[in-house]
Amino acid sequence: MAASRPVTLITGASAGIGAELARVFAANGHTLVLAARREDRLQALADEIAATGRSRPLVLRVDLQRPEAAADIGAALAAQDLEPQYVVNNAGFGLSGPAAEIDRTEQLDMIDLNVRALTDLSLAFVDSLTRHHGGILNVASVAAFLPGPRMAVYYASKAYVLSFSEALHHELKSRGVRVTTLCPGPVKTEFQARAGAAEGQAASVLSQPAIKVAQDGYVGLMRGRRVVVPGWGNKLVTALIPFVPRSLLFRVVDARQGRRRSPGT
């Protein structure tokens, strides 16, 4: 019986950092499977990658917030004799505003995508990742290191991603599986509009282009790094956070988030 072919599964590749991650992995010779809800965008990206002479990615239209998503992806891959060598969990979103005032259903949807789906996909394919000496790249945020007034659930979800992924890095190392957490700072993408960020909010000394974030994440994964924080400014911020009084961090984050517009306006 022929062995299943190894592929790189990337979620949330329809725009922003996810699309750039797809381009970077493809440029480095990986065969891709792109999973997200917006199939038209994934097909356009697959066409773009194929036009460069690389293997055309397989596109899977899937709602990752559904509990069956990981199983559905696994079945779709098995049907084509494919299995993951790398899993890139990029799909996620944020919402800005006081937690008691934002729609609760939307916040629970955020947890389903940012936390539950990422956890499921990180664990679902460990056997194939082991067979192919691959790894997992989980996209968190600099927000993972901070308390998050006015964006409480999002910050908490990214803190979970960082904690979970660091532990998994340790647990799976003996099996030859790399686990890297990518923690970007501000990146001007569609995420800003979805979260309710004001125009120009992401343009700061900490901001990094999505392509640079993707390249840093890829290199970090291939080198087996535990955490990757793109940009010297963001590295400095995360290094200083443990030494800043928590009460001051609350005020700084609250003031920054207060400059955002309200969700849905």
DSSP labels for 110-121? Answer: HHIIIIIIHHHH
pLDDT at 232 (0 to 100): 93
Q: Does domain 5-258 sit in CATH 3.40.50.720?
A: yes
pLDDT at 256 (0 to 100): 80
Give which of 33, 105, 102 is closest to 65, Cα–Cα: 105
Separation CA 108–CA 117 (nearest Å): 12
Angle, helix 104-111 to helix 152-172, in steps of 10 degrees: 10
pLDDT at 199 (0 to 100): 43
Catalogue the active-site residues: 154
Separation CA 10–CA 25 (nearest Å): 10
Q: Which two tokens stand for residue 206?
A: 């900490």
Q: Which position has the token pair 């991650």?
A: 21
- pTM for the model stands at 0.91
Which stretches does DSSP call E strand in 24-147? 32-36, 58-61, 82-89, 135-139
pLDDT at 39 (0 to 100): 94
In what helix (H) or strand (E) does residue 169 lie, and over which residues does it extend?
A: helix 152-172
In what helix (H) or strand (E) does residue 6 lie, and over which residues does it extend?
A: strand 5-11
What is the domain partition of the chain in residue ranges? 5-258
pLDDT at 3 (0 to 100): 73
pLDDT at 203 (0 to 100): 45
Intervals of the chain under pLDDT 70: 1-2, 189-205, 259-265
